[in-house]
Amino acid sequence: MRQFIFLPLLAITACATTDARGAVANPAATATSAAEQSVPSNPMNPSVLRWTRLYCTPDNESHFETMSAALGKTNFAPPASPIFIGGGGPASKVVFGGFEPNWGAADVRSGKTHPTPTVQWVTVLAGSMVLRTTDGDSRLVRAGDVIHLEDVAPCRGHITQNLSSGATFLQFVQ
């Protein structure tokens, strides 16, 4: 399989390693307490990137955690001025998804969860969605938010619902 390095501005895989399930562990990342909404990076501080981690515990339940990583000033694209960059890990596929208004509402009503098909980074490009974990927690994600999905089977997974009156678009980096 052909591999390439993908460095989206909002998805960081700095110093990434994988565990036995293929979940990415980032020793350069630090966890903070979770909040009801995703915690976007501070637009006044480009040296720290924050994202929401959706992970699974050994009891196959899913949970959220807010993560952050320091980015270092790098001469990334000379002759342009240096920018803050972190790592860059291998990616084999980038796809885009479009979700119709109210997509996932039936799953919310029935409680039907699904695991992510593979460990992946998700960036919300337009619209908003709510993600619900099996521990009852939820996160509202909006354009610009980054989520790292690690809740692969046999995890019970999560529920996702499009809250926008129009389409929501996501970018998936696998």
Which of the residues in the chain have pLDDT under 70? 1-40, 87-88
Q: What DSSP state is assigned to residue 164? A: S
Pairing of strands 120-126, 168-173: antiparallel
Given this model, what pLDDT does residue 35 score? 43
Residue 64 carries which DSSP code?
Answer: E
Asked if 11 contacts 173 with a C-beta cutoff of 8 angstroms, the reply is yes
pLDDT of residue 18: 35
Per-domain residue ranges for the chain? 4-173
- How far apart, in whole angstroms, are the C-alpha atoms of residue 125 and residue 161? 15
Closest to 95 (Cα-Cα) out of 9, 2, 171, 12:
171
Q: What is the pTM of this model?
A: 0.78
| Separation between Cα atoms, residue 148 and residue 45, nearest integer Å | 21
Q: Residue 15 and residue 58: Cα distance in Å, rounded?
A: 24
- CB neighbours of 9 closer than 8 A, spacing ≥ 6? none
Could you give the count of Cα atoms lying within 13 Å of 98 in the half-sphere of its Cβ? 3
